[in-house]
Structure 1
Amino acid sequence: MAISDLNRFLSNFFEAHHCQVTSDGTKGTLTVKLTEEMDKALMNRPFYWHYIKKIGQIGEPKQLTFNTKPEQTQTSGEYIHFGSPRLQQIISHLKTNERFTRLYQYLPVSARTPLYPWLVTNIKLSYIGKQKKEQLFSIGLNLVNGVMKTEMMDELRTITLQPAISDFCYAISPMIKPGSGFRRILAVLEQFVHDQDHEWAQQSLKALEDEKQLLQAFYEGESEEARKQMDQEITEITQRYQPEINMEVVNGGIFYLAGNSTHPLK
Protein backbone atom coordinates (compact mmCIF):
# COMPACT_ATOMS: atom_id res chain seq x y z
CA MET A 1 0.00 0.00 0.00
CA ALA A 2 1.58 3.27 -1.11
CA ILE A 3 1.06 6.28 1.24
CA SER A 4 2.40 9.64 0.08
CA ASP A 5 0.96 11.88 2.85
CA LEU A 6 0.81 10.17 6.24
CA ASN A 7 -1.23 12.90 7.94
CA ARG A 8 -3.83 12.87 5.20
CA PHE A 9 -3.97 9.06 5.17
CA LEU A 10 -4.57 8.94 8.93
CA SER A 11 -7.17 11.71 8.80
CA ASN A 12 -9.05 9.99 5.98
CA PHE A 13 -8.88 6.63 7.76
CA PHE A 14 -10.27 7.86 11.07
CA GLU A 15 -12.85 10.21 9.56
CA ALA A 16 -14.13 7.34 7.40
CA HIS A 17 -14.65 5.43 10.65
CA HIS A 18 -16.62 8.32 12.20
CA CYS A 19 -13.90 9.32 14.67
CA GLN A 20 -13.49 12.94 15.76
CA VAL A 21 -10.25 14.20 14.22
CA THR A 22 -8.29 17.38 14.92
CA SER A 23 -5.22 17.85 12.78
CA ASP A 24 -2.37 20.37 12.78
CA GLY A 25 -0.43 19.55 9.63
CA THR A 26 2.24 22.17 10.31
CA LYS A 27 3.19 20.51 13.59
CA GLY A 28 2.49 17.00 12.36
CA THR A 29 0.00 16.22 15.11
CA LEU A 30 -3.30 14.43 14.83
CA THR A 31 -5.70 14.02 17.76
CA VAL A 32 -8.32 11.32 17.37
CA LYS A 33 -11.30 10.49 19.58
CA LEU A 34 -11.94 6.85 18.77
CA THR A 35 -15.32 5.27 18.37
CA GLU A 36 -16.09 2.09 20.27
CA GLU A 37 -15.54 0.07 17.10
CA MET A 38 -12.10 1.62 16.47
CA ASP A 39 -11.12 1.29 20.13
CA LYS A 40 -11.88 -2.43 19.95
CA ALA A 41 -9.94 -2.75 16.70
CA LEU A 42 -6.80 -0.82 17.72
CA MET A 43 -6.47 -0.59 21.51
CA ASN A 44 -6.48 -4.28 22.53
CA ARG A 45 -8.84 -3.83 25.49
CA PRO A 46 -11.18 -6.85 25.20
CA PHE A 47 -11.56 -7.30 28.97
CA TYR A 48 -12.53 -3.65 29.44
CA TRP A 49 -15.28 -3.82 26.82
CA HIS A 50 -16.45 -7.21 28.10
CA TYR A 51 -16.75 -5.81 31.61
CA ILE A 52 -18.55 -2.65 30.43
CA LYS A 53 -21.11 -4.68 28.51
CA LYS A 54 -21.55 -7.06 31.43
CA ILE A 55 -22.49 -4.26 33.85
CA GLY A 56 -24.65 -2.51 31.25
CA GLN A 57 -22.63 0.70 31.11
CA ILE A 58 -21.48 2.86 28.19
CA GLY A 59 -17.76 2.56 27.57
CA GLU A 60 -15.34 5.42 27.07
CA PRO A 61 -13.23 5.02 23.91
CA LYS A 62 -9.65 6.25 24.05
CA GLN A 63 -8.36 9.51 22.65
CA LEU A 64 -5.04 9.32 20.82
CA THR A 65 -2.58 11.92 19.65
CA PHE A 66 -0.25 10.99 16.82
CA ASN A 67 2.94 12.79 15.87
CA THR A 68 4.31 12.39 12.34
CA LYS A 69 7.06 15.03 12.66
CA PRO A 70 9.44 14.10 15.50
CA GLU A 71 11.65 17.07 14.62
CA GLN A 72 8.94 19.28 16.09
CA THR A 73 10.26 19.09 19.64
CA GLN A 74 7.36 21.07 21.14
CA THR A 75 4.82 18.47 20.11
CA SER A 76 3.89 15.31 21.95
CA GLY A 77 1.98 12.15 21.23
CA GLU A 78 2.62 8.72 19.82
CA TYR A 79 5.26 8.90 17.09
CA ILE A 80 3.83 7.18 14.02
CA HIS A 81 5.87 6.65 10.88
CA PHE A 82 6.25 4.33 7.91
CA GLY A 83 7.09 0.95 9.37
CA SER A 84 5.88 1.75 12.91
CA PRO A 85 3.78 -0.94 14.63
CA ARG A 86 0.76 1.36 14.87
CA LEU A 87 0.74 2.15 11.16
CA GLN A 88 1.17 -1.54 10.33
CA GLN A 89 -1.76 -2.29 12.65
CA ILE A 90 -3.96 0.20 10.76
CA ILE A 91 -2.90 -1.15 7.37
CA SER A 92 -3.49 -4.71 8.55
CA HIS A 93 -6.99 -3.71 9.69
CA LEU A 94 -7.69 -2.27 6.26
CA LYS A 95 -6.42 -5.35 4.46
CA THR A 96 -8.34 -7.74 6.69
CA ASN A 97 -11.64 -5.94 7.11
CA GLU A 98 -11.98 -3.35 4.39
CA ARG A 99 -10.62 -4.65 1.11
CA PHE A 100 -13.96 -3.99 -0.55
CA THR A 101 -16.25 -0.99 -0.28
CA ARG A 102 -19.35 0.67 -1.71
CA LEU A 103 -19.22 4.45 -2.15
CA TYR A 104 -21.26 7.15 -3.86
CA GLN A 105 -20.11 10.34 -5.55
CA TYR A 106 -21.13 13.41 -3.57
CA LEU A 107 -23.31 15.73 -5.66
CA PRO A 108 -24.96 18.90 -4.26
CA VAL A 109 -27.90 18.74 -6.67
CA SER A 110 -31.55 19.79 -6.39
CA ALA A 111 -32.90 17.65 -9.25
CA ARG A 112 -33.09 13.88 -9.59
CA THR A 113 -29.68 12.68 -10.78
CA PRO A 114 -28.67 9.13 -11.68
CA LEU A 115 -25.48 7.51 -10.42
CA TYR A 116 -24.01 4.66 -12.43
CA PRO A 117 -22.28 1.63 -10.88
CA TRP A 118 -18.60 1.06 -11.60
CA LEU A 119 -16.72 -2.01 -10.45
CA VAL A 120 -13.23 -0.83 -9.52
CA THR A 121 -10.53 -3.39 -8.83
CA ASN A 122 -6.89 -2.81 -7.89
CA ILE A 123 -4.82 -5.83 -8.89
CA LYS A 124 -1.12 -6.49 -8.38
CA LEU A 125 0.84 -8.53 -10.92
CA SER A 126 4.01 -10.08 -9.49
CA TYR A 127 6.64 -11.38 -11.89
CA ILE A 128 8.71 -13.94 -9.98
CA GLY A 129 12.01 -15.30 -11.23
CA LYS A 130 15.68 -14.35 -11.21
CA GLN A 131 14.55 -10.74 -11.44
CA LYS A 132 11.36 -9.73 -9.60
CA LYS A 133 8.94 -7.03 -10.68
CA GLU A 134 5.51 -5.83 -9.60
CA GLN A 135 2.84 -3.86 -11.47
CA LEU A 136 -0.31 -2.39 -9.97
CA PHE A 137 -3.38 -1.98 -12.16
CA SER A 138 -6.47 0.00 -11.23
CA ILE A 139 -9.28 -0.96 -13.59
CA GLY A 140 -12.87 0.27 -13.60
CA LEU A 141 -15.77 -1.37 -15.41
CA ASN A 142 -19.08 0.42 -15.97
CA LEU A 143 -21.64 -2.19 -14.95
CA VAL A 144 -24.30 -0.63 -17.20
CA ASN A 145 -22.62 -0.20 -20.59
CA GLY A 146 -19.45 -2.31 -20.20
CA VAL A 147 -16.98 0.56 -20.70
CA MET A 148 -13.62 -0.27 -19.11
CA LYS A 149 -10.99 2.22 -17.94
CA THR A 150 -7.47 1.94 -16.56
CA GLU A 151 -5.90 4.12 -13.84
CA MET A 152 -9.32 4.43 -12.27
CA MET A 153 -8.07 5.26 -8.79
CA ASP A 154 -6.33 8.37 -10.12
CA GLU A 155 -9.69 9.62 -11.34
CA LEU A 156 -11.53 8.67 -8.17
CA ARG A 157 -9.10 10.81 -6.17
CA THR A 158 -10.40 13.89 -8.03
CA ILE A 159 -13.95 13.57 -6.68
CA THR A 160 -15.61 13.39 -3.28
CA LEU A 161 -16.93 9.99 -2.26
CA GLN A 162 -19.15 9.09 0.66
CA PRO A 163 -20.82 5.97 2.08
CA ALA A 164 -24.38 7.32 1.65
CA ILE A 165 -26.04 8.52 -1.54
CA SER A 166 -26.62 12.29 -1.87
CA ASP A 167 -30.09 13.81 -1.71
CA PHE A 168 -31.96 13.77 -5.03
CA CYS A 169 -29.57 11.13 -6.43
CA TYR A 170 -30.56 7.56 -7.22
CA ALA A 171 -28.54 4.47 -8.12
CA ILE A 172 -28.92 2.79 -11.50
CA SER A 173 -29.19 -0.99 -11.26
CA PRO A 174 -26.26 -2.80 -12.92
CA MET A 175 -26.85 -4.65 -16.17
CA ILE A 176 -23.64 -6.63 -15.63
CA LYS A 177 -23.33 -8.64 -12.44
CA PRO A 178 -20.20 -7.83 -10.41
CA GLY A 179 -18.95 -11.42 -10.68
CA SER A 180 -19.22 -11.34 -14.44
CA GLY A 181 -17.61 -7.90 -14.52
CA PHE A 182 -14.69 -9.13 -12.43
CA ARG A 183 -14.14 -12.00 -14.86
CA ARG A 184 -14.04 -9.47 -17.72
CA ILE A 185 -11.35 -7.50 -15.89
CA LEU A 186 -9.31 -10.65 -15.26
CA ALA A 187 -9.61 -11.61 -18.92
CA VAL A 188 -8.20 -8.23 -19.96
CA LEU A 189 -5.24 -8.60 -17.59
CA GLU A 190 -4.59 -12.16 -18.71
CA GLN A 191 -4.48 -10.96 -22.32
CA PHE A 192 -2.13 -8.16 -21.29
CA VAL A 193 0.21 -10.69 -19.68
CA HIS A 194 0.01 -12.96 -22.73
CA ASP A 195 1.02 -10.11 -25.06
CA GLN A 196 4.13 -9.14 -23.07
CA ASP A 197 7.72 -10.00 -23.94
CA HIS A 198 8.62 -12.94 -21.71
CA GLU A 199 12.35 -12.93 -22.26
CA TRP A 200 12.72 -12.48 -18.51
CA ALA A 201 11.21 -15.94 -18.03
CA GLN A 202 13.63 -17.50 -20.49
CA GLN A 203 16.53 -15.82 -18.68
CA SER A 204 15.28 -17.21 -15.37
CA LEU A 205 15.03 -20.73 -16.78
CA LYS A 206 18.56 -20.46 -18.21
CA ALA A 207 19.91 -19.21 -14.88
CA LEU A 208 18.13 -22.06 -13.12
CA GLU A 209 19.64 -24.65 -15.46
CA ASP A 210 23.13 -23.12 -15.10
CA GLU A 211 22.90 -23.24 -11.30
CA LYS A 212 21.71 -26.85 -11.35
CA GLN A 213 24.61 -27.88 -13.58
CA LEU A 214 27.11 -26.13 -11.29
CA LEU A 215 25.70 -27.96 -8.27
CA GLN A 216 25.72 -31.30 -10.03
CA ALA A 217 29.35 -30.78 -11.04
CA PHE A 218 30.27 -29.73 -7.48
CA TYR A 219 28.65 -32.80 -5.90
CA GLU A 220 29.81 -35.28 -8.54
CA GLY A 221 31.35 -38.33 -6.91
CA GLU A 222 30.17 -37.32 -3.43
CA SER A 223 28.40 -39.58 -0.96
CA GLU A 224 24.69 -40.32 -0.96
CA GLU A 225 24.26 -38.05 2.05
CA ALA A 226 25.97 -35.20 0.21
CA ARG A 227 23.75 -35.71 -2.81
CA LYS A 228 20.71 -35.32 -0.56
CA GLN A 229 22.10 -31.90 0.35
CA MET A 230 22.48 -31.20 -3.38
CA ASP A 231 18.84 -32.10 -3.97
CA GLN A 232 17.78 -29.71 -1.21
CA GLU A 233 19.84 -26.89 -2.72
CA ILE A 234 18.36 -27.57 -6.16
CA THR A 235 14.87 -27.37 -4.66
CA GLU A 236 15.69 -24.00 -3.08
CA ILE A 237 17.19 -22.65 -6.32
CA THR A 238 14.16 -23.83 -8.28
CA GLN A 239 11.84 -21.98 -5.88
CA ARG A 240 13.86 -18.79 -6.41
CA TYR A 241 14.37 -18.96 -10.17
CA GLN A 242 11.32 -20.81 -11.53
CA PRO A 243 9.44 -18.08 -13.44
CA GLU A 244 5.80 -17.46 -12.62
CA ILE A 245 3.30 -14.63 -12.61
CA ASN A 246 0.96 -14.14 -9.67
CA MET A 247 -2.19 -12.03 -9.79
CA GLU A 248 -3.48 -10.66 -6.47
CA VAL A 249 -6.55 -8.52 -5.80
CA VAL A 250 -5.44 -5.75 -3.44
CA ASN A 251 -8.82 -4.11 -2.93
CA GLY A 252 -11.81 -2.77 -4.80
CA GLY A 253 -15.47 -1.94 -4.64
CA ILE A 254 -18.59 -0.63 -6.30
CA PHE A 255 -18.57 3.12 -6.93
CA TYR A 256 -21.70 4.96 -8.00
CA LEU A 257 -20.67 7.88 -10.19
CA ALA A 258 -22.38 10.62 -12.16
CA GLY A 259 -22.39 10.26 -15.93
CA ASN A 260 -22.51 7.13 -18.04
CA SER A 261 -19.87 7.81 -20.70
CA THR A 262 -16.21 6.88 -20.95
CA HIS A 263 -15.41 10.00 -18.92
CA PRO A 264 -17.84 9.84 -15.99
CA LEU A 265 -15.84 11.99 -13.61
CA LYS A 266 -15.63 15.26 -15.52
Structure 2
Amino acid sequence: MYPQQVHHYLKEFFMENDCAILGEEDHYLTVQLTVDIDKRIMNRPFYWQYVEATNSEPNPAQVTFITNQTAMAGNIFGEAIHYGSPRLNQVFLATRELGAYVQLFEKVDRDMGQVILTPWLGVNFKVSYCCDRTKEMLYSFGINLLTGVIKEDFHEMICSSDFNTKPEENVFHVQYIIKPARALERLKATIESIIEQDDHSWAMEAQKRWQRDQRVLDYFYEDVEDKPECYEIERKALEEQYEAKIKIEVINGGLFYLF
Protein backbone atom coordinates (compact mmCIF):
# COMPACT_ATOMS: atom_id res chain seq x y z
CA MET A 1 0.00 0.00 0.00
CA TYR A 2 1.69 3.18 -1.22
CA PRO A 3 1.77 6.46 0.76
CA GLN A 4 -0.79 8.10 -1.55
CA GLN A 5 -3.13 5.14 -1.03
CA VAL A 6 -2.74 5.41 2.74
CA HIS A 7 -3.42 9.15 2.50
CA HIS A 8 -6.57 8.63 0.44
CA TYR A 9 -7.80 5.83 2.72
CA LEU A 10 -7.34 7.95 5.85
CA LYS A 11 -9.05 10.98 4.32
CA GLU A 12 -12.04 8.90 3.26
CA PHE A 13 -12.22 7.24 6.68
CA PHE A 14 -12.19 10.53 8.59
CA MET A 15 -14.65 12.25 6.26
CA GLU A 16 -17.07 9.32 6.43
CA ASN A 17 -16.93 9.43 10.22
CA ASP A 18 -17.53 13.21 10.51
CA CYS A 19 -13.97 14.15 11.50
CA ALA A 20 -13.13 17.64 10.20
CA ILE A 21 -10.09 17.90 7.89
CA LEU A 22 -8.32 21.01 9.21
CA GLY A 23 -5.31 20.92 6.94
CA GLU A 24 -4.00 18.83 4.08
CA GLU A 25 -1.12 18.51 1.67
CA ASP A 26 -0.05 15.48 -0.36
CA HIS A 27 2.04 14.22 2.55
CA TYR A 28 -0.05 14.97 5.65
CA LEU A 29 -3.54 15.36 7.10
CA THR A 30 -4.53 17.40 10.13
CA VAL A 31 -7.78 16.09 11.57
CA GLN A 32 -10.13 17.01 14.40
CA LEU A 33 -11.35 13.66 15.72
CA THR A 34 -14.81 13.04 17.07
CA VAL A 35 -15.25 11.52 20.51
CA ASP A 36 -16.11 8.13 19.02
CA ILE A 37 -13.11 7.98 16.66
CA ASP A 38 -10.75 9.23 19.40
CA LYS A 39 -11.92 6.35 21.61
CA ARG A 40 -11.42 3.86 18.79
CA ILE A 41 -7.94 4.78 17.53
CA MET A 42 -6.06 6.98 20.03
CA ASN A 43 -5.46 4.56 22.94
CA ARG A 44 -6.66 6.90 25.71
CA PRO A 45 -8.94 4.67 27.81
CA PHE A 46 -7.97 6.26 31.14
CA TYR A 47 -8.65 9.77 29.83
CA TRP A 48 -12.11 8.79 28.64
CA GLN A 49 -12.82 6.93 31.89
CA TYR A 50 -11.95 10.13 33.78
CA VAL A 51 -14.14 12.27 31.51
CA GLU A 52 -17.11 9.96 31.95
CA ALA A 53 -16.58 9.52 35.69
CA THR A 54 -16.33 13.28 36.35
CA ASN A 55 -18.82 14.31 33.67
CA SER A 56 -16.14 16.64 32.26
CA GLU A 57 -16.22 18.35 28.89
CA PRO A 58 -14.73 15.91 26.36
CA ASN A 59 -11.72 17.10 24.37
CA PRO A 60 -11.13 14.71 21.47
CA ALA A 61 -7.67 14.88 19.93
CA GLN A 62 -6.59 17.03 17.02
CA VAL A 63 -3.93 15.05 15.17
CA THR A 64 -1.60 15.53 12.21
CA PHE A 65 -0.88 12.28 10.40
CA ILE A 66 2.20 12.33 8.16
CA THR A 67 1.51 9.94 5.31
CA ASN A 68 4.73 10.44 3.33
CA GLN A 69 7.85 11.36 5.30
CA THR A 70 10.04 11.51 2.19
CA ALA A 71 7.93 14.37 0.81
CA MET A 72 7.97 16.43 4.01
CA ALA A 73 8.66 20.11 3.64
CA GLY A 74 8.55 22.82 6.26
CA ASN A 75 7.98 22.47 9.99
CA ILE A 76 5.10 20.01 10.07
CA PHE A 77 5.04 17.95 13.23
CA GLY A 78 2.85 14.90 13.62
CA GLU A 79 2.59 11.15 13.76
CA ALA A 80 4.06 9.18 10.88
CA ILE A 81 1.56 6.64 9.62
CA HIS A 82 2.22 4.00 6.96
CA TYR A 83 1.08 0.57 5.90
CA GLY A 84 1.79 -1.86 8.72
CA SER A 85 1.97 0.83 11.41
CA PRO A 86 -0.03 0.19 14.61
CA ARG A 87 -2.14 3.32 14.12
CA LEU A 88 -3.21 2.34 10.61
CA ASN A 89 -4.07 -1.14 11.88
CA GLN A 90 -6.32 0.53 14.46
CA VAL A 91 -8.02 2.48 11.66
CA PHE A 92 -8.56 -0.79 9.76
CA LEU A 93 -10.09 -2.32 12.89
CA ALA A 94 -12.37 0.69 13.38
CA THR A 95 -13.42 0.43 9.73
CA ARG A 96 -14.41 -3.19 10.22
CA GLU A 97 -16.34 -2.38 13.39
CA LEU A 98 -18.12 0.67 11.95
CA GLY A 99 -18.80 -0.43 8.41
CA ALA A 100 -18.04 -4.08 7.80
CA TYR A 101 -20.97 -4.28 5.41
CA VAL A 102 -22.88 -1.59 3.52
CA GLN A 103 -25.61 -1.38 0.90
CA LEU A 104 -25.37 1.76 -1.21
CA PHE A 105 -27.11 3.14 -4.29
CA GLU A 106 -25.31 5.42 -6.73
CA LYS A 107 -26.77 8.92 -6.96
CA VAL A 108 -28.11 9.84 -10.38
CA ASP A 109 -29.45 13.01 -11.94
CA ARG A 110 -33.22 13.23 -11.53
CA ASP A 111 -33.47 14.73 -15.03
CA MET A 112 -32.27 11.45 -16.54
CA GLY A 113 -35.67 9.85 -16.08
CA GLN A 114 -35.94 6.19 -15.11
CA VAL A 115 -32.50 4.76 -14.36
CA ILE A 116 -31.49 1.12 -13.88
CA LEU A 117 -28.78 0.31 -11.33
CA THR A 118 -26.77 -2.92 -11.50
CA PRO A 119 -25.74 -4.81 -8.34
CA TRP A 120 -22.06 -5.34 -7.55
CA LEU A 121 -20.45 -7.02 -4.57
CA GLY A 122 -17.36 -5.07 -3.53
CA VAL A 123 -14.88 -6.58 -1.08
CA ASN A 124 -11.58 -5.31 0.34
CA PHE A 125 -9.14 -8.06 1.29
CA LYS A 126 -5.92 -8.06 3.28
CA VAL A 127 -3.40 -10.79 2.42
CA SER A 128 -0.62 -11.42 4.94
CA TYR A 129 2.51 -13.47 4.25
CA CYS A 130 3.69 -14.40 7.75
CA CYS A 131 6.86 -15.95 9.11
CA ASP A 132 9.52 -14.22 11.23
CA ARG A 133 8.84 -11.32 8.87
CA THR A 134 5.46 -10.13 7.63
CA LYS A 135 4.36 -8.73 4.29
CA GLU A 136 0.81 -7.40 3.93
CA MET A 137 -1.08 -6.36 0.79
CA LEU A 138 -4.52 -4.88 0.16
CA TYR A 139 -6.75 -5.95 -2.70
CA SER A 140 -10.08 -4.45 -3.72
CA PHE A 141 -12.34 -6.49 -6.00
CA GLY A 142 -15.85 -6.06 -7.30
CA ILE A 143 -18.00 -8.65 -9.00
CA ASN A 144 -21.05 -7.89 -11.12
CA LEU A 145 -23.89 -9.95 -9.65
CA LEU A 146 -25.62 -10.23 -13.03
CA THR A 147 -22.72 -11.14 -15.34
CA GLY A 148 -20.01 -12.42 -12.99
CA VAL A 149 -17.47 -9.93 -14.40
CA ILE A 150 -14.73 -9.19 -11.83
CA LYS A 151 -13.04 -5.79 -11.58
CA GLU A 152 -9.75 -5.12 -9.80
CA ASP A 153 -9.19 -1.88 -7.87
CA PHE A 154 -12.94 -1.70 -7.28
CA HIS A 155 -12.58 0.84 -4.47
CA GLU A 156 -10.80 3.25 -6.80
CA MET A 157 -13.49 2.65 -9.43
CA ILE A 158 -16.32 3.80 -7.15
CA CYS A 159 -14.60 6.36 -4.91
CA SER A 160 -15.41 9.23 -7.29
CA SER A 161 -19.14 8.39 -7.23
CA ASP A 162 -21.72 9.63 -4.72
CA PHE A 163 -24.03 7.20 -2.98
CA ASN A 164 -27.23 7.10 -0.94
CA THR A 165 -28.30 4.47 1.54
CA LYS A 166 -31.70 4.34 -0.21
CA PRO A 167 -32.51 4.42 -3.94
CA GLU A 168 -33.92 7.62 -5.40
CA GLU A 169 -37.43 7.76 -6.80
CA ASN A 170 -36.34 7.55 -10.43
CA VAL A 171 -34.13 4.51 -9.81
CA PHE A 172 -34.91 0.87 -10.45
CA HIS A 173 -32.33 -1.53 -9.08
CA VAL A 174 -32.09 -4.97 -10.65
CA GLN A 175 -32.23 -7.99 -8.35
CA TYR A 176 -28.98 -9.95 -8.38
CA ILE A 177 -28.70 -13.33 -10.11
CA ILE A 178 -25.47 -14.45 -8.44
CA LYS A 179 -25.97 -14.73 -4.70
CA PRO A 180 -23.53 -12.62 -2.65
CA ALA A 181 -22.26 -15.69 -0.76
CA ARG A 182 -21.41 -17.40 -4.06
CA ALA A 183 -19.86 -14.19 -5.41
CA LEU A 184 -17.66 -13.94 -2.31
CA GLU A 185 -16.41 -17.47 -2.98
CA ARG A 186 -15.44 -16.41 -6.51
CA LEU A 187 -13.55 -13.40 -5.21
CA LYS A 188 -11.72 -15.54 -2.67
CA ALA A 189 -10.79 -17.93 -5.49
CA THR A 190 -9.42 -14.93 -7.42
CA ILE A 191 -7.27 -13.94 -4.44
CA GLU A 192 -6.04 -17.52 -4.04
CA SER A 193 -5.09 -17.61 -7.73
CA ILE A 194 -3.04 -14.42 -7.29
CA ILE A 195 -1.31 -15.95 -4.28
CA GLU A 196 -0.51 -19.16 -6.18
CA GLN A 197 1.18 -17.18 -8.95
CA ASP A 198 3.17 -15.03 -6.54
CA ASP A 199 6.84 -15.48 -5.67
CA HIS A 200 7.09 -17.64 -2.53
CA SER A 201 10.84 -17.58 -2.11
CA TRP A 202 10.18 -15.78 1.19
CA ALA A 203 8.89 -19.07 2.63
CA MET A 204 12.02 -20.95 1.53
CA GLU A 205 14.24 -18.25 3.03
CA ALA A 206 12.29 -18.50 6.32
CA GLN A 207 12.76 -22.27 6.25
CA LYS A 208 16.54 -21.81 5.91
CA ARG A 209 16.63 -19.39 8.87
CA TRP A 210 14.53 -21.84 10.87
CA GLN A 211 16.93 -24.71 10.13
CA ARG A 212 19.92 -22.53 11.03
CA ASP A 213 18.47 -21.59 14.42
CA GLN A 214 17.34 -25.17 15.04
CA ARG A 215 20.92 -26.38 14.47
CA VAL A 216 22.15 -23.83 17.02
CA LEU A 217 19.55 -25.01 19.54
CA ASP A 218 20.42 -28.67 18.96
CA TYR A 219 24.12 -27.87 19.39
CA PHE A 220 23.54 -26.64 22.95
CA TYR A 221 21.65 -29.82 23.85
CA GLU A 222 23.58 -32.37 21.75
CA ASP A 223 25.09 -34.11 24.78
CA VAL A 224 21.80 -34.21 26.68
CA GLU A 225 20.10 -37.56 26.18
CA ASP A 226 16.78 -36.63 27.78
CA LYS A 227 15.94 -33.17 26.53
CA PRO A 228 14.53 -30.90 29.27
CA GLU A 229 11.22 -29.10 28.98
CA CYS A 230 12.95 -25.82 28.10
CA TYR A 231 14.33 -27.43 24.93
CA GLU A 232 10.84 -28.33 23.77
CA ILE A 233 9.60 -24.82 24.62
CA GLU A 234 12.40 -23.23 22.56
CA ARG A 235 11.88 -25.68 19.68
CA LYS A 236 8.17 -24.84 19.62
CA ALA A 237 8.95 -21.12 19.73
CA LEU A 238 11.16 -21.48 16.63
CA GLU A 239 8.33 -23.28 14.84
CA GLU A 240 5.85 -20.52 15.67
CA GLN A 241 8.36 -17.85 14.65
CA TYR A 242 9.45 -19.25 11.29
CA GLU A 243 6.55 -21.38 10.04
CA ALA A 244 5.27 -19.85 6.80
CA LYS A 245 1.58 -18.93 6.85
CA ILE A 246 -0.67 -17.05 4.45
CA LYS A 247 -3.74 -15.30 5.85
CA ILE A 248 -6.62 -13.92 3.80
CA GLU A 249 -8.83 -11.49 5.69
CA VAL A 250 -11.93 -9.64 4.56
CA ILE A 251 -11.63 -6.04 5.79
CA ASN A 252 -15.04 -4.86 4.66
CA GLY A 253 -17.43 -4.97 1.75
CA GLY A 254 -20.95 -4.42 0.58
CA LEU A 255 -23.55 -4.33 -2.15
CA PHE A 256 -23.17 -1.39 -4.52
CA TYR A 257 -25.88 -0.60 -7.05
CA LEU A 258 -24.15 1.22 -9.90
CA PHE A 259 -25.37 3.10 -12.93
Q: Given the two structures, how large is their TM-score scaled by the length of structure 1? A: 0.69
Aligned to 2:105: 104
Change (3 A) 1:236 1:190: same
C-alpha distance in structure 2 between counterparts of 1:87 and 1:203, whole Å: 28
Question: CA contact under 8 A between 2:124 and 2:138: conserved in structure 1?
Answer: yes
Q: Which consecutive unaligned segments of at least 5 residues does structure 1 have?
A: 16-20, 49-60, 73-78, 259-266
Letter of the 1:104 partner, please give it.
F
**1:93-172 map, 5 Å:** 93-110=94-111, 111-172=113-174
Change (3 A) 1:148 1:243: same
How far is 1:250 from its partner? 0.8
Aligned to 2:255: 254
How far is 1:188 from its partner? 1.5
Aligned to 1:242: 243
SS at match of 2:122: strand
Equivalenced residue count is 234
C-alpha distance in structure 2 between counterparts of 1:208 and 1:161, whole Å: 50
C-alpha distance in structure 2 between counterparts of 1:81 and 1:203, whole Å: 30
Aligned to 1:200: 202
Deviations 1:158-206 (A, max 9, x none): 2222322233112110010000000111111212222233222222223
Which structure would you say has the larger Rg?
A: 1
The sequence identity of aligned pairs, in percent, is 24
How far is 1:97 from its partner? 3.6
C-alpha distance in structure 1 between counterparts of 2:213 and 2:89, whole Å: 38
Letter of the 1:14 partner, please give it.
N
Letter of the 1:199 partner, please give it.
S
Aligned to 1:187: 189
Question: CA contact under 8 A between 1:32 and 1:63: conserved in structure 2?
Answer: no
Letter of the 1:142 partner, please give it.
N
Letter of the 2:123 partner, please give it.
T
C-alpha distance in structure 1 between counterparts of 2:211 and 2:61, whole Å: 55
Deviations 1:119-140 (A, max 9, x none): 0111111111244211211110
Q: Which consecutive unaligned segments of at least 5 residues does structure 2 have?
A: 41-46, 66-74
How far is 1:222 from its partner? 3.4
How far is 1:153 from its partner? 0.8
Deviations 1:14-48 (A, max 9, x none): 34xxxxx766437x8767888xxx69x87979xx8
Aligned to 2:17: 14
C-alpha distance in structure 2 between counterparts of 1:238 and 1:4, whole Å: 37
C-alpha distance in structure 2 between counterparts of 1:33 and 1:210, whole Å: 50
Q: Given the two structures, how large is their TM-score scaled by the length of structure 2? A: 0.71
**1:15-30 map, 5 Å:** 15=18, 24-25=22-23
Letter of the 1:191 partner, please give it.
S
SS at match of 1:25: strand
How far is 1:86 from its partner? 10
